[in-house]
Amino acid sequence: MNLLSWSMYGVLCLVLAGCGISPVVSDQKNDSVSQPLQGLSGIAEQTSCHPDRLTDEEAQEGAFSALVPTQALAASAKGQRVCWGGGLRTIEAVKGGRDCVVMLYAELSPKVFWGWPRDASFFMACGPGHYDRTLLQPFTLGLIGGKVTGQAEFAGDPIPVIEIEAFYRASDCLQGDTSPQCVHGHIQPLKKPQ
């Protein structure tokens, strides 16, 4: 990718940084929905990798490490569960009937607003099956929960790789908009590849 393309990508990231999404917030102070998603910004462990209230069956419960992608490059990070958010950079099918996405890492504020760090970092997330390309296009926002499995290279730099346990597609569309780019929630691989 040439310098002009990366510059345009950076400008778009800055524009997106002014946009945000926010979950439904409860009036109860101890409700987990109104608590910060601290692990997403590297502050502390968290117990859920989802911005909205879910049923027990849907929730990805368990401890998630507070590691950020740059810290997950250490050998000691392998096997750690993380929950990272970001903007989709690429998606591709790889051998073994799997899809891998590369995401531009975003820091999330306590009210789940997306913030793009000054020093961009990326991560790769891979899982079995193939995801709907109409739902996952460049700059799509998402949260991915999974375990650190190793490293890959992107744009000449090492990036951490995680195995997808849960993929939450976010949306910054107006409520009620049902177009494909506005779908939000957990997404699953397609039953038949596209």
List of long-range contacts for 13-18, beta carbons under 8 Å, 24+ apart: 13/87, 13/104, 13/116, 13/120, 14/116, 16/87, 16/114, 16/116, 16/139, 16/141, 17/114, 17/115, 17/116
CA atoms within 13 A on the CB side of 186: 15
- Among residues 75, 50, 31, the alpha carbon closest in space to that of 166 is found at 50
pLDDT tens digit at each of 194 positions of the chain: 444 444 444 444 443 433 333 332 323 333 333 233 333 434 345 556 765 544 444 444 567 888 999 999 999 999 999 999 999 999 999 999 999 999 999 987 666 577 888 889 999 999 999 999 988 989 899 999 999 999 999 999 999 999 999 899 887 777 778 777 787 888 888 876 55
**Model pTM score:** 0.70
